[in-house]
Amino acid sequence: MHYLSIDIGGTYTKLGLVDQAGTFIQTWRQPTPKSLETFKEMIVSELEGQIGQIKGIAMSCPGRVDSTKGYIHTGGALLFLYNFPMKDWIASITDLPFAVINDGKAAALAEWWIGNLKGIENGAAVVLGTGIGGGLILDNHLHQGPNFQAGELSFLIRQSPNPKQPQIFGFYGSAVKFMKEAATLLAASEDDHELVFTAIVNQSSTDLTALFENYCRDIAILLIDMQVLLDLEKIVIGGGISVQDSLIETIQKQYLNIRQEEMMLDQTFAPLVIEACAFRNSSNLLGALYHLLVEIDNKIV
């Protein structure tokens, strides 16, 4: 028997059957529902399809999540999950072990467990999606904060010259927003990542190249701020867009460019290691499972 891991995203909900070592048996996805009622129906349907096949349920989602009580205070862009007692509700429909954790923190746990943060005492995962999720590994420990809000990178302030635009960083660093703008330039579907990134690699559009370079520079600035504040050794990038090697390469390039522009920064701080998450867009699923396994074993991370 395996575990069912569920990652609730702003656009899609990803699901996977995973064994205790973190090996995927099967993965699939569903469009994320728009209401609590349809969300519940989807979860019930998925669980009914796995009766007798699973021995626990793990979940990750955006927002402020009390991972000890299994209570979702805020669900990020998923307004129907605000103030929802997820663990209590799951317990009302099944007696299987269950745990839920913030998606950025799940990504950090996955990479620290068996991914590209393994062996790193101070590192972070940055998840680029509808907003920007984050998970912090500090002193060999997942740092959640007293309100379970450490690493909520979307809410960092970046002052815009246009007072009518949002001032929070999640607006600028949103991968979904970038893809919409890039697809508009190409008159393509915003879901056609392959077409967009083929055009970027081939430098088919000067406007698209500028948009991409600026986006990657914004992310590089975020990583520098995190490094300066927390003295991190390594940051890994996750989210659906992270499967594109050119994204990681360009963020790395922009990071080095900024260091060269700011000589004191270059002279004061050792270069930060920037990589993609080993499990790319599946890190949240694995981290949610790791959190469940820790709860079952009654350990503290």
Domains along the sequence of the chain with CATH: 2-103+282-296 (3.30.420.40), 116-277 (3.30.420.40)
What pLDDT shows up at residue 77? 85
For 75-107, write each residue's pLDDT tens digit.
988 999 999 999 999 999 999 999 999 999 999
Distance, CA of 24 to CA of 288 (rounded, Å): 13
Work out the number of other CB atoms within 10 angstroms of the CB of residue 286.
29
Q: Which range, of 136-150, 154-168, 266-280, averages the lowest pLDDT?
A: 154-168
Single-letter amino acid code for the residue at 10: G
pLDDT higher than 70, residue 148 = yes
Nearest C-alpha neighbor of 138 from the set 158, 124, 148, 153: 124
Q: CA-based diameter of the chain, in Å?
A: 60
Nearest C-alpha neighbor of 151 from the set 167, 169, 166, 132: 132
Q: Where residue 291 falls among pLDDT bands split at 50, 70, 90?
A: very high
What pLDDT shows up at residue 300? 41
Check if the beta carbon of residue 282 is closer than 8 Å to that of residue 24.
yes
For 99-143, write each residue's pLDDT tens digit.
999 999 999 999 999 999 999 999 999 999 888 999 999 999 999
pLDDT higher than 80, residue 14 = yes
Residue with tokens 């290691």: 273
Residues 6+ apart with CB under 8 A from 190: 176, 179, 180, 182, 183
Distance, CA of 105 to CA of 103 (rounded, Å): 5
Q: Compute and round to an integer the Cα radius of gyration of the chain.
A: 19
CA 171, 242, 232, 152 torsion: positive or negative? positive
**Which stretch of DSSP H or E encloses residue 8?**
strand 2-8
Check if the beta carbon of residue 155 is closer than 8 Å to that of residue 169.
yes
Residues 6+ apart with CB under 8 A from 174: 128, 129, 130, 131, 132
Distance, CA of 44 to CA of 125 (rounded, Å): 31
What pLDDT shows up at residue 301? 43
Residues 6+ apart with CB under 8 A from 22: 110, 113, 114, 286, 289, 290
What pLDDT shows up at residue 299? 47
Q: What is the arithmetic mean of pLDDT over 69-77?
A: 94
- Cα 115 vs. chain centroid, distance in angstroms? 14
Distance, CA of 152 to CA of 203 (rounded, Å): 33
pTM: 0.92
H-type alpha helices, the chain? 36-48, 86-93, 103-114, 169-173, 175-186, 193-201, 206-230, 245-261, 263-268, 283-296
